């Protein structure tokens, strides 16, 4: 049995210019699926990576969850509009987009700041670019404790999840659990977590589109958008995820489904 969280396109994204990404991903997934009794996909997006294979796969869809006690709304706000990005600072996560969206919003006259949680190979380049452009960005680096991450997420007005090839998008669930709505790409799995009133989607790769989506979200009454975001996250408690796993185990090894056989 295998639980699919980071599908092949996520890890191969930096190679998209010279590698036939679709064929490579399919070959990897076919080999992976053949080695296990069942595949567990966390989202419709990741399930589709296996659903399109020519072989027959026992495929289950079980969303991930969030710790609703650790990731919870908390008092305290900064001045202006607070944005947050939480994730690895590597090319496939598109971490440059939140910074570029901040630049767009500031040109439009919005008093906005950005907190960046996470570390990775792109950090140095992003720090230099932010400094050169005079952007109000604070790089926190790796935050060891989940409660520390939750505290920053809860203080923000909007969380930015720019990656268009997320296989689930856990940060797009942790932020709403803290009462913070999300702006994410219109492709990938993170958009599956966004509902009206709790966030918005933007054209993948567009800093201006992300800035537009942030502006739309901020136009909603704060109390309502934060309550709606939290309510959405409460649909994904870890208990619900755990409850679905025994059925996956019970069905492992039984007759295999075709491409559309998602349980």
Q: Residue 75: what pLDDT?
A: 86
Residue 74 near residue 41 (C-beta atoms within 8 A): no
Q: Residue 79: what pLDDT?
A: 81
> How many whole angstroms separate alpha carbon 175 and alpha carbon 171?
6
Q: Residue 69: what pLDDT?
A: 96
| Structural domain boundaries in the chain | 2-65+239-251, 81-236
> How many whole angstroms separate alpha carbon 249 and alpha carbon 36?
12
Could you say which residues of the chain have pLDDT below 70? 1-35, 52-57, 249, 251-263
Q: What is 81-236's CATH number?
A: 3.40.50.2000
Q: Residue 167: what pLDDT?
A: 86
Q: Residue 32: what pLDDT?
A: 66
> How many whole angstroms separate alpha carbon 47 and alpha carbon 41?
5
Q: Residue 62: what pLDDT?
A: 86
> How many whole angstroms separate alpha carbon 30 and alpha carbon 236?
29
Instruction: Provide the greatest CA pair distance for the chain.
Output: 60
Tokens of 137: 């960005």
Q: Residue 154: what pLDDT?
A: 97
Q: Residue 6: what pLDDT?
A: 52
pTM of the model: 0.85
> How many whole angstroms separate alpha carbon 1 and alpha carbon 216?
42
> Mind listing the pLDDT tens digit for each residue in 168-197?
989 999 999 999 999 999 999 999 999 999
């Amino acid at each position: 049995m295998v639980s699919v969280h980071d599908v092949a396109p996520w890890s191969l994204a930096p190679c998209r210019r010279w590698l036939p990404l679709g064929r490579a991903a399919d070959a990897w997934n076919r080999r992976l699926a053949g080695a296990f009794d069942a595949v567990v996909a966390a989202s419709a997006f990741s399930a589709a990576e296996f659903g399109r294979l020519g072989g027959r796969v026992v495929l289950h869809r079980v969303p991930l969850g969030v710790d609703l006690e650790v990731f919870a709304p908390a008092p305290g706000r900064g001045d202006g509009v607070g944005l947050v990005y939480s994730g690895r600072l590597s090319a496939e996560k598109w971490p440059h987009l939140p910074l570029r969206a901040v630049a767009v919003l500031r040109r439009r006259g919005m008093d906005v700041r950005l907190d960046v949680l996470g570390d990775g190979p792109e950090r140095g380049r992003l720090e230099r670019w932010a400094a050169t452009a005079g952007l109000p960005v604070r790089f926190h680096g790796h935050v060891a404790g989940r409660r520390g991450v939750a505290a920053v997420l809860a203080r923000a007005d909007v969380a930015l999840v720019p990656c268009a090839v997320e296989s689930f998008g856990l940060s797009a669930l942790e932020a709403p659990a803290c009462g913070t709505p999300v702006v994410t790409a219109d492709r990938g799995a993170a958009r599956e977590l966004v509902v009206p009133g709790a966030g918005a989607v933007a054209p993948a790769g567009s800093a201006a589109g992300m800035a537009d989506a942030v502006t739309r979200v901020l136009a909603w009454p704060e109390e309502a958008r934060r309550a709606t975001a939290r309510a959405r996250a409460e649909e994904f408690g870890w208990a619900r995820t755990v409850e679905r796993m025994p059925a996956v185990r019970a069905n492992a090894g039984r007759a295999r489904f075709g491409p559309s056989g998602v349980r």
